[in-house]
Amino acid sequence: GQQVMQIPQYQHVQEGEDFTTYCNSSTTLSNIQWYKQRPGGHPVFLIQLVKSGEVKKQKRLTFQFGEAKKNSSLHITATQTTDVGTYFCATEGSGGSNYKLTFGKGTLLTVNP
Protein backbone atom coordinates (compact mmCIF):
# COMPACT_ATOMS: atom_id res chain seq x y z
CA GLY A 1 0.00 0.00 0.00
CA GLN A 2 0.89 3.65 -0.18
CA GLN A 3 3.18 5.03 2.51
CA VAL A 4 2.46 8.49 3.83
CA MET A 5 4.53 10.55 6.23
CA GLN A 6 2.65 12.83 8.55
CA ILE A 7 4.18 15.83 10.32
CA PRO A 8 4.40 17.08 12.94
CA GLN A 9 3.89 14.18 15.33
CA TYR A 10 2.74 16.52 18.10
CA GLN A 11 1.54 20.11 18.22
CA HIS A 12 0.59 22.12 21.26
CA VAL A 13 -1.11 25.47 20.73
CA GLN A 14 -2.81 28.18 22.71
CA GLU A 15 -6.52 28.44 22.10
CA GLY A 16 -7.08 30.81 19.21
CA GLU A 17 -3.84 29.96 17.41
CA ASP A 18 -3.84 28.24 14.05
CA PHE A 19 -2.73 24.66 13.44
CA THR A 20 -1.56 22.77 10.37
CA THR A 21 -0.69 19.13 9.81
CA TYR A 22 0.89 17.78 6.65
CA CYS A 23 0.74 14.45 4.89
CA ASN A 24 3.44 13.65 2.32
CA SER A 25 4.01 10.80 -0.09
CA SER A 26 6.85 9.92 -2.46
CA THR A 27 4.32 8.59 -4.96
CA THR A 28 1.19 10.02 -6.54
CA LEU A 29 -1.93 9.38 -4.49
CA SER A 30 -5.27 8.56 -6.07
CA ASN A 31 -7.06 10.24 -3.21
CA ILE A 32 -6.62 11.05 0.46
CA GLN A 33 -8.91 10.97 3.45
CA TRP A 34 -8.64 12.76 6.78
CA TYR A 35 -9.89 11.44 10.10
CA LYS A 36 -10.05 12.81 13.64
CA GLN A 37 -9.73 10.70 16.77
CA ARG A 38 -10.65 12.23 20.09
CA PRO A 39 -8.75 10.94 23.16
CA GLY A 40 -10.15 7.53 24.07
CA GLY A 41 -12.36 7.47 20.98
CA HIS A 42 -12.35 5.98 17.53
CA PRO A 43 -11.39 7.65 14.23
CA VAL A 44 -14.13 9.68 12.61
CA PHE A 45 -14.10 10.64 8.96
CA LEU A 46 -13.64 14.32 8.13
CA ILE A 47 -13.12 14.64 4.39
CA GLN A 48 -11.96 12.99 1.19
CA LEU A 49 -9.91 14.79 -1.47
CA VAL A 50 -9.67 13.40 -4.98
CA LYS A 51 -8.73 16.12 -7.46
CA SER A 52 -5.34 17.72 -8.01
CA GLY A 53 -5.17 21.07 -6.21
CA GLU A 54 -8.50 20.49 -4.50
CA VAL A 55 -9.39 22.70 -1.54
CA LYS A 56 -12.31 21.97 0.75
CA LYS A 57 -13.52 23.84 3.82
CA GLN A 58 -15.51 22.76 6.83
CA LYS A 59 -16.09 25.77 9.06
CA ARG A 60 -12.64 26.48 10.56
CA LEU A 61 -10.99 23.49 8.85
CA THR A 62 -9.35 23.80 5.42
CA PHE A 63 -8.16 20.75 3.54
CA GLN A 64 -5.83 20.88 0.55
CA PHE A 65 -4.60 18.31 -1.94
CA GLY A 66 -1.37 19.20 -3.72
CA GLU A 67 -1.16 19.84 -7.43
CA ALA A 68 1.01 16.76 -7.89
CA LYS A 69 -1.27 14.72 -5.60
CA LYS A 70 1.71 13.80 -3.43
CA ASN A 71 0.85 15.85 -0.39
CA SER A 72 -2.08 17.15 1.58
CA SER A 73 -2.67 19.45 4.49
CA LEU A 74 -5.26 20.16 7.14
CA HIS A 75 -5.36 23.66 8.56
CA ILE A 76 -7.44 24.73 11.54
CA THR A 77 -8.02 28.43 12.03
CA ALA A 78 -8.38 29.77 15.56
CA THR A 79 -8.23 26.49 17.41
CA GLN A 80 -10.69 25.67 20.16
CA THR A 81 -10.45 23.13 22.97
CA THR A 82 -12.91 20.97 21.04
CA ASP A 83 -10.26 20.53 18.35
CA VAL A 84 -8.12 18.40 20.67
CA GLY A 85 -7.35 14.98 19.24
CA THR A 86 -5.23 13.11 16.75
CA TYR A 87 -5.61 13.90 13.08
CA PHE A 88 -4.81 11.16 10.59
CA CYS A 89 -4.47 11.12 6.86
CA ALA A 90 -5.26 7.89 5.07
CA THR A 91 -4.74 6.67 1.56
CA GLU A 92 -5.62 3.60 -0.42
CA GLY A 93 -3.55 0.99 -2.20
CA SER A 94 -2.97 0.75 -5.93
CA GLY A 95 -5.73 0.22 -8.42
CA GLY A 96 -7.89 3.18 -7.54
CA SER A 97 -10.27 1.25 -5.34
CA ASN A 98 -10.73 1.98 -1.69
CA TYR A 99 -9.83 -1.48 -0.47
CA LYS A 100 -6.56 -1.19 1.41
CA LEU A 101 -6.65 2.01 3.36
CA THR A 102 -3.44 2.72 5.27
CA PHE A 103 -3.01 5.54 7.75
CA GLY A 104 -0.29 7.99 8.57
CA LYS A 105 1.01 8.05 12.14
CA GLY A 106 -1.14 11.04 12.96
CA THR A 107 -0.62 14.44 14.54
CA LEU A 108 -1.70 14.86 18.15
CA LEU A 109 -3.09 18.32 18.75
CA THR A 110 -3.42 19.68 22.26
CA VAL A 111 -4.96 23.08 22.95
CA ASN A 112 -4.25 25.17 26.03
CA PRO A 113 -7.37 27.13 27.04
Partner 1 sequence: NAGVTQTPKFRILKIGQSMTLQCAQDMNHNYMYWYRQDPGMGLKLIYYSVGAGITDKGEVPNGYNVSRSTTEDFPLRLELAAPSQTSVYFCASGATNEKLFFGSGTQLSVL
CA 57, CA 63: separation in Å to the nearest integer?
A: 6
Q: Which is nearer to partner 1, 55 or 99 (CB)?
A: 99
> Which residues sit at the interface with partner 1, rule CB under 8 A?
1, 6, 31, 33, 35, 41-45, 48, 88, 90, 97-106, 108
Number of alpha carbons in the 13 Å side-chain half-sphere of residue 1: 16
Q: Which is nearer to partner 1, 42 or 59 (CB)?
A: 42
For residue 46, give Cα distances in angstroms to 26, 36, 52, 90: 23, 7, 18, 11
CB of 101 to partner 1, least distance (A): 6
Q: Which is nearer to partner 1, 1 or 16 (CB)?
A: 1
